[in-house]
């Protein structure tokens, strides 16, 4: 019984503590009111009450009721100087309205937001929160207007009173709930020289504005321009600081703006106090929402950039692991070759060529990696989230294709005489896929012309056809002779053969080299940084497909490769 009594006492003390906090918030709302029209510019109590319930649970609804009753009694004494039984009824009904709208807001927050994750981390969450604030203000406004109409204390038109109440509630919730909840979230702030310099520049700018505003000639202009002058300040908060500091800056500017307007100073002072109040509330609401959305968007962009960097690290790790697997496979093959003491000359030649091929295959894998790195460079400067997602999808596609290509290489290293895998080939899809994979290889726009005449199905080994076309097209793009690459591809599918022509405007190959370019490790020029395996692989693959290949080339005029591949 004693433990239960202690728990109840602690809960009661906590309720009283939060009731006092709610009362102070309501008193602050009275302080920020236009007294002659009995209308508040900001109602902090709604935002404070919502934060209390979110942090401590819905059981704290009693604190909202008690705090609201205390605020109602105080307001009647301040306005009328007395407190009658009808005032007591109105206080009770207003307390019920405050409790209902706060409990409703808490239920909506718990429904639309995950308690395990901090609030206001995504731009979409901000708009959800604005909707919750509007619903709370609407429910509270209806109940308050009905209460005031029943008790006879309604002095302004019904629609005007309801509108002013909704806007005051929304502004209070949009300012105070994020302000309180953000400071209960974990955050990091690193002070650096750049921020110090920016603060110094901002201080100088503010000083200049204050000095100019003190000059009678410029004073009206400065005050009328105030809504525009604070835009850079809000943008600075959103782009350079976290939510805690941004919302604190918004609150400071908003409260100062309210005080100036109440004193009849500033751009929102109009002939009608109701109009002044509405203009003021619209300004605070729009800029608070905009700043929170920008802050969350900047944070999302930073998180996306970190994700891309982590993805890049994992990609490098994957490439390292794959390379190690290739190296281990080579070592195992060497050991097996030594133990078996194979004496067959052709078998030794084949294994030696295969080992050399695996050692030197890395250059053929650089095209997808280069594409990924190019996309990463684009993603680092991209601000549009939708475009950034497209870049990530393209990176993922390139990595998957590279992984499949590595696996094919491992298969070829285990068995250099794999059987042909017959499948239907759509040359247009194959060629477009290769161009898509190589589109960022040189960061140059590639002009291409495709003339594909395929009226009938064509069957061959698709993976080997891709190896041939990928090598030839990538060579045509790489050796572009300092000009914009131009690649012309013609495919004519006949009943028994596919005739393929790949023509470029590159550096070309000298006639003295044409008979040797298909040899392993042969390089036609010293400027060619490749492994010397590309055309050798093409020739070996075409031979496996039982086709033939011819090459025509002239220095500085380009190269044309003619392929004839039979339908299997």
**Residue 299: is its pLDDT beyond 50?**
yes
Find which of 243-247, 407-411, 432-436 is predicted with most confidence, using mean pLDDT: 432-436
What's the pLDDT score for residue 135? 92
Reported confidence tier of residue 498, pLDDT bands at 50, 70, 90? very high
What is the Cα–Cα distance from 438 to 392, expressed in whole angstroms?
16
Work out the widest C-alpha separation in the chain, in whole angstroms: 115
What is the Cα–Cα distance from 459 to 463, expressed in whole angstroms?
12
**Residue 342: is its pLDDT beyond 70?**
no
Give the helix ranges, DSSP H, for 193-272.
193-213, 219-224, 226-240, 243-262
Reported confidence tier of residue 362, pLDDT bands at 50, 70, 90? low
Strand partners, 2: none
Q: What is the DSSP letter of 54?
A: H
What's the pLDDT score for residue 1? 43
Would you list the DSSP string of 530-560? S-S-HHHHHHHHHHHTT-EEEEEEETTTEEE
What's the pLDDT score for residue 359? 53
What is the Cα–Cα distance from 120 to 106, expressed in whole angstroms?
15
pLDDT in tens, 56-78: 888 889 998 988 888 888 877 76
What is the Cα–Cα distance from 285 to 105, expressed in whole angstroms?
18
Residues 6+ apart with CB under 8 A from 368: 398, 399, 401, 402, 405, 437
Q: Share the mean pLDDT of the chain.
A: 79
What is the Cα–Cα distance from 298 to 295, expressed in whole angstroms?
5
Alpha carbon distances (Å) from 271 to 40, 266, 334: 18, 13, 94
Would you list the DSSP string of 122-148? SHHHHHHHHHHHHHHHHHHHHHHHHHH
Residues 6+ apart with CB under 8 A from 250: 175, 234, 237, 287, 288, 291, 292
Cα radius of gyration (the chain): 37
Phi, psi angle pair for 451, to nearest 5°: -125, 95
What is the Cα–Cα distance from 233 to 229, expressed in whole angstroms?
8
Asked whether the beta carbons of 99 and 18 are under 8 A apart, the reply is no
What is the Cα–Cα distance from 459 to 495, expressed in whole angstroms?
11
What's the pLDDT score for residue 405? 59
Q: Which residues of 287-298 are buried (b: 16+ CB within 10 A; e: fewer)?
A: bbbbbbbbbbbb
User: How many angstroms from the chain centroid is the CA of residue 171?
Assistant: 28
Asked whether the beta carbons of 281 and 41 are under 8 A apart, the reply is yes
Mean pLDDT of the 162-178 span: 88
Cα dihedral: 131, 133, 134, 135 (round 10): 90
Strand partners, 559: 553
Q: Any idea which residue has 């308690």 for tokens?
A: 115
What is the Cα–Cα distance from 72 to 26, expressed in whole angstroms?
9
Q: Any idea which residue has 């205390």 for tokens?
A: 70
What is the Cα–Cα distance from 329 to 559, expressed in whole angstroms?
36
Mean pLDDT of the 319-344 span: 78
User: How many angstroms from the chain centroid is the CA of residue 396?
Assistant: 16
**Residue 308: is its pLDDT beyond 50?**
yes
> Nearest to residue 98, comparing CAs of 71, 129, 131, 126?
71
Rounded to two decimals, the pTM is 0.51
| DSSP-derived pairing of the beta strands 486-493 and 447-453 | parallel
What is the Cα–Cα distance from 38 to 36, expressed in whole angstroms?
6
Q: Any idea which residue has 């285990």 for tokens?
A: 414
What is the Cα–Cα distance from 268 to 281, expressed in whole angstroms?
10
pLDDT in tens, 82-131: 667 777 888 888 889 989 999 999 999 888 877 656 677 777 788 888 89
Strand partners, 449: 488
Burial class (CB in 10 A: 0-12, 13-18, 19+), 553: buried
């Amino acid at each position: 019984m004693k433990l239960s009594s202690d728990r109840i006492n602690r809960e009661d003390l906590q309720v009283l503590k939060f009731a006092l906090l709610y009362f102070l918030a309501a008193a602050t709302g009275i302080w920020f009111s236009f007294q002659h029209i009995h209308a508040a510019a900001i109602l902090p109590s709604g935002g404070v009450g919502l934060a209390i319930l979110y942090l401590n649970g819905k059981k704290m609804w009693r604190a909202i009721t008690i705090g609201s009753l205390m605020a109602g009694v105080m307001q009647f004494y301040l306005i009328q100087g007395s407190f009658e039984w009808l005032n007591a009824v109105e206080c009770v009904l207003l307390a019920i309205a405050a409790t209902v709208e706060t409990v409703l807001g808490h239920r909506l927050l718990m429904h639309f937001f995950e308690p395990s994750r901090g609030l206001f981390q995504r731009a979409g969450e901000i708009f959800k929160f604005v909707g919750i604030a509007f619903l709370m203000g609407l429910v509270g406004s209806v109940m308050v207007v009905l209460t005031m109409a029943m008790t006879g204390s309604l002095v302004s038109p019904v629609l005007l009173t309801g509108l002013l109440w909704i806007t005051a509630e929304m502004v209070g919730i949009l300012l105070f709930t994020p302000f309180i909840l953000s400071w209960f979230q974990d955050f990091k702030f690193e002070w650096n020289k750049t921020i110090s310099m920016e603060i110094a520049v901002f201080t100088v700018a503010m000083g200049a504005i204050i000095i100019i505003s003190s000059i009678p000639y410029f004073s009206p202009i400065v005050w009328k321009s105030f809504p525009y002058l604070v835009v850079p300040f809000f943008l600075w908060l959103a782009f350079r600081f976290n939510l805690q500091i941004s919302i604190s800056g918004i609150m400071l500017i908003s409260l100062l703006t309210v005080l100036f307007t109440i004193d009849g100073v500033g751009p929102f002072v109009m002939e009608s106090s109701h109009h002044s109040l509405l203009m003021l509330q619209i300004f605070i609401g729009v800029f608070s929402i905009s700043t929170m959305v920008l802050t969350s968007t900047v944070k999302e962009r930073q998180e996306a950039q970190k994700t891309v960097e982590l993805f890049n690290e994992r990609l490098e790790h994957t490439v390292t692991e794959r390379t190690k697997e290739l190296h281990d496979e080579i070592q195992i093959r060497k050991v097996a070759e030594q133990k078996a003491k194979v004496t067959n000359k052709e078998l030794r030649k084949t294994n030696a060529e295969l080992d050399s091929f695996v050692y030197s295959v890395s250059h053929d894998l650089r095209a997808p990696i280069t594409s990924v790195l190019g996309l990463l460079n684009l993603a680092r400067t991209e601000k549009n989230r939708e475009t950034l997602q497209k870049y990530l999808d393209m990176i993922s596609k390139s990595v998957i294709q590279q992984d499949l290509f590595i696996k094919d290489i491992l298969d070829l290293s285990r068995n250099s005489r794999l059987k042909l895998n017959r499948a239907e080939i759509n040359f247009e899809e194959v060629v477009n896929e290769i161009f898509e994979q190589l589109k960022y290889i040189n960061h140059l726009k590639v002009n291409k012309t495709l003339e594909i005449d395929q009226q009938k199905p064509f069957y061959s080994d698709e993976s080997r056809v891709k190896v041939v076309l990928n090598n030839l097209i990538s060579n045509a793009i790489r050796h572009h002779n300092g000009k914009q690459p131009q690649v012309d591809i013609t495919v004519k599918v006949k009943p028994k053969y596919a005739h393929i022509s790949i023509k470029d405007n590159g550096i070309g190959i000298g006639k003295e080299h044409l008979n040797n370019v298909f040899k392993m490790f042969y390089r036609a020029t010293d400027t060619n940084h490749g492994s010397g395996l590309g055309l050798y692989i093409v020739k070996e693959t075409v031979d496996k497909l039982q086709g033939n290949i011819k090459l025509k080339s002239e220095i500085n005029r380009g190269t044309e490769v003619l392929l004839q591949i039979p339908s299997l």
